[in-house]
Amino acid sequence: MRYQAHRGVASEAPENTMAAFRLAVLQGYHVIELDPDFTEDGVCVLFHDKTLARTCRTADGELLPPERKLRDTSFAELQTLDVGVSHSPKYRGERVPTLEETLDFARETGITIKLDNRMEAFTEEQCEINFDIIARSGAKVAFTCKTTAFAEKVIDRFPDAEIHYDGEVSEQTVSYLKAKLRNNAYTVWLYHAAATEELCDMIHRYADLGLWIISTEEQLARAKQLGADIIETPGELKPPYAPGGWVDCHVHTKYSHDSTCEPMVHLASAAEKGLRGICITDHCDLEYAYKTDVITPIVASVKEAEQCREAYKDSLAVFTGVEIGEAIWDSAANEQLLSATAYDCVLGSVHAVRYKEYTVPYSHIDFSAMSSEDVRGYLHAYFGELQQMADGYDQDVLTHLTCPLRYVMGKYGIPVDMSEYQAEIEAILRTVVRRHIALEVNTSGIGSFYGEYMPYASILRKYREMGGYLITLASDAHTADRTGNGFDDAVRMLKDLGFTNAYYYKERMPIPYAL
């Protein structure tokens, strides 16, 4: 079964952008569906809506008037707008692409581009402009048609064209097109909820079957049962991957204040344990930015990780990253850090909380000396600051969600009724899902005085029920012997919860692999 990315991988990157198309290739999709349209001065671009306001912002990130239309905007004006920042700060500066540059990309990568049926509404001149661009490109292009007349028009110009029909489905229409198309690749599409066994069986007598929009494992299972040859998904579902080792997305080296481990020693340990990759994510705790240089060590960490990468290029993927703690304490320093160097992965963490006089990192707090009221107040404050970080700050992964419990419950043995914090945790999970931030499964507690995953399996189950699927594995190792710690059992747990993939980040894009 083939997988088609709806407007690119629109769940994780801005729709109809080069970022979404690059991600589709990186994640192994077979087809990219996209939406051609025209600017005021006749340039064919990729954009879904008639108006700009939903996805576009000014260069300064400001909202646009809701009535401003694409076809009333020149291409030069359109290129001044930002189509990435409304999706995520890390995509700031993304521009609306042209059809021509996208087809160049498709030719270079070999992926098939499928044009939406909106071409049927183009003027004759606009249609010819598109046909000419396609003919020159040399890319693999499929055409979506909602009428037999347009399908015949496409075939007249491109006799070998791949045709995808998504108009009114009847045996008469489907068989008529089959006769016209000879040996062309031919797919008939149904909305998944409208698909019946009888209808799908009829389509299979003449064509391949496509089902859209498929976003859940349950919908995918039904699509397979109905014999779908191709499905369209915004990105929640991925093509199947062969198993082959895991990636540790969170380790610390000598560039962190609490580790002395040499980067190459971590890499050697990861390779010896059969990991497929490792991401070095040294600490940058911004509560100290006002009194010391916390950024220079991170730049050095990234540089050394890049140098180490060459030594393991044939056996281990090496990624660069940073663990930003307390970004909400110093937004200016956070922005400076993010622009100081390029990262594969940015982790967002809360290690210290602004609660009464207890503002040092929670690993240094003696919770046994606190009143039960203050312990409860502290945990509420922690989840509040985690919510603030998740809601408004640039990050790829939210780390160790329940980390203070490692000390409250693990080190000091203080019982905690987690039901008191359920609403706050679920609010954080909703934010993570909405903002397409990955949730880390942190195994640093396994084999320690805590002995629990962070977060608990019950929280991971709730995350999946909410539609979350971006999961990273993280040992949070500060010494090489802990690299990949507890991953075997963590993977079993995740599979039991229904997760099929974990992710790592490359150039801040999520790349899935089989658990």
Distance CA 73, CA 368 (A): 63
Q: Give the type of residue at 53.
A: A
* CATH 3.20.20.140 domain residues, the chain: 252-514
Buried-state track 149-178, b at ≥16 Cβ within 10 A, e below 16: ebbebbbeebeebbbbbbbebeeebbeebb
**DSSP state string for 131-161:** HHHHHHH---EEEEESSHHHHHHHHHH-TT-
pLDDT at 240: 96
Q: Is 433 exposed, middle or buried (0-12, 13-18, 19+ CB in 10 A)?
A: middle
* CATH 3.20.20.190 domain residues, the chain: 2-233
User: 109: alpha, beta or left, given left = phi > 0 and alpha = psi -120 to 50?
Assistant: alpha
| Cβ atoms 358, 379 nearer than 8 A | no
What letter would DSSP give residue 239? Answer: -
Helix (H, G, I), strand (E, B) or coil at 509: strand
| Cβ count near 68 (within 10 Å) | 14
pLDDT at 366: 98
For the chain (515 residues), the mean pLDDT of every run of 10, in chain order, is: 98 98 98 98 98 97 96 98 96 97 98 97 96 97 97 96 97 96 95 98 98 96 98 97 95 98 97 97 97 97 96 95 98 97 98 98 97 98 98 97 98 97 98 97 95 97 97 98 97 97 98 98
Q: Which pairs count as long-range contacts for 370-379, CB under 8 Å and 24+ apart, including other chains?
A: 372/414, 375/408, 375/414, 375/416, 376/420, 378/353, 378/404, 379/404, 379/408, 379/416, 379/421
pLDDT at 386: 98
pLDDT at 465: 96
Pick from 336, 483, 455, 353: nearest CA to 398:
455
Query: Strand 31-34 to strand 112-115: parallel, antiparallel, or no bridges (unpaired)?
Result: parallel
pLDDT at 111: 98
Tokens coding 159: 């006799």
Q: Is 148 exposed, middle or buried (0-12, 13-18, 19+ CB in 10 A)?
A: middle
| Cβ atoms 4, 233 nearer than 8 A | yes
| Cβ count near 477 (within 10 Å) | 24
- Strand-by-strand arrangement of the 345-349 sheet: 247-251, 277-285, 317-325, 345-349, 397-398, 438-442, 471-474
Distance CA 124, CA 35 (A): 18
Distance CA 39, CA 98 (A): 10
**CATH fold of the domain at 252-514:** TIM Barrel (3.20.20)
Please tell me the class of the 2-233 domain: alpha beta
| Cβ count near 413 (within 10 Å) | 10
pLDDT at 182: 83
**Residues contacting 253, CB < 8 A, separation 6+:** 259, 261, 262, 263, 266, 280, 282, 301, 304
**DSSP state string for 294-350:** -SHHHHHHHHHHHHHHHHTTTT-EEEEEEEEE-GGG-HHHHHHHHHHS--SEEEEE-
pTM for this prediction: 0.96
Pick from 401, 380, 393, 382: nearest CA to 472:
401
